[in-house]
Structure 1
Amino acid sequence: MENRINEIKVSYYGGDHIKKAPKIKLSADAAEILFFQWDKGVLGLQETFKVLLLDRSNRVKGQYELSKGGIHGTLVDIRILMAVALKSLSVGLILAHNHPSGNLSPSSADRETTSKIIKAASYFDIKILDHLILAPNGDYYSFADQGILY
């Protein structure tokens, strides 16, 4: 009988450049960073869900693309999202996804997913600072600005 098991490693390579990383003060700051990073070729084609990972000073540690779906939606695996947040030792997250149609109104699924993520993150003392919906034309909708981040 062999007693060999898999080794699991947890690592994050941040470095000193975090001191120069952009700091999020407003939803517009996050939207600007996300638009710059987003693949413009798919912004109006298929829905994608991303997250900005933040440190205690709201500096952006990095971005993670959680899922890429179809025209009408994408799946969000909250376990993977929490694993990424924990692995990077992030204390704040900004959620983001695009609506290829350009309609910025959050759907009931958008609201429900946000609520589930907020609940899951609260168990780890991770704060969800905003959820942005991006449109191909550069406009965005902020859950925080609209007071519906719950």
Structure 2
Amino acid sequence: MKIDYFKVSEIKVSYTDKVKASERPQIGASKDAAQIFKHIFKNCIQHHEEFYVMLLNRGNKVLGVSCISKGGISGTVVDVRIILQLALKANASALIVSHNHPSGNLTASAADLNITEKLKNACQLIDLSLLDHLIVTDESYLSFADDGLL
């Protein structure tokens, strides 16, 4: 069997940083991350669910934010592998995830708790820190870290 090595796909991994290190916001508490996420969710907060990841460096400065999924009124699908892929691409040391609840309900569902646990375990395998999972509504937010759910 003859193998044509010129027909093998090249895999390219890249991350482009467009913000100076001195200009990156620093996350010191859940309220800092919640303010950023609330701004991100402004166009969907009461309409449909979206799930985002915030990638942080060792100094808890924001490297970037990326949308993981957009869903319907009562849920969205989250793939842990996509989150980890983004974190590895950006050389992140930590991450915070967030999604909105269009209903305004700040109670974490069983699905919310399950994906958080799954992501936490996956992060531990590659020495990433999952710092928090925030549920954001139009009026407030729930921090899994602050409430002992992480």
1:140 partnered with 2:146: no
Aligned to 2:126: 124
Aligned to 1:102: 104
Structure 2 residues not aligned, in runs of 5+: none
Q: CA deviation at 1:5?
A: 0.9
Distance in 2 separating the partners of 1:15 and 1:134: 27
Distance in 1 separating the partners of 2:23 and 2:108: 33
1:14 partnered with 2:17: yes
Aligned to 1:53: 55
Q: What pairs with 1:84-99 in structure 2 (closer than 5 Å)?
A: 84-99=86-101
1:5 partnered with 2:8: yes
Q: CA deviation at 1:42?
A: 1.3
**Aligned length, in residue pairs:** 147
Supply the RMSD in Å over aligned alpha carbons. 1.2
Q: In terms of mean alpha carbon deviation, does 95-104 or 13-22 score higher?
A: 13-22
8 Å Cα contact 1:18-1:60 kept in structure 2? no
Percent identity between matched residues is 45
* Alpha-carbon displacement from aligned partner over 1:30-76 (angstroms, at most 9, x marks no partner): 001111222x2311111110011000000000001000011111000
Structure exhibiting the larger radius of gyration computed from Cα positions: 2
TM-score, L = length of structure 1: 0.93
Q: CA deviation at 1:84?
A: 0.5
SS of 1:104 mapped into structure 2:
coil
Distance in 1 separating the partners of 2:46 and 2:125: 35
Q: What pairs with 1:28-47 in structure 2 (closer than 5 Å)?
A: 28-38=31-41, 40-47=42-49
The runs of at least 4 aligned residues of structure 1 exceeding 3 Å deviation read none
Distance in 1 separating the partners of 2:132 and 2:141: 12
Distance in 1 separating the partners of 2:22 and 2:91: 16
Q: CA deviation at 1:141?
A: 0.4
Aligned to 1:68: 70
Distance in 1 separating the partners of 2:124 and 2:113: 17
Equivalent residue for 2:81, pick from 79, 89, 98: 79
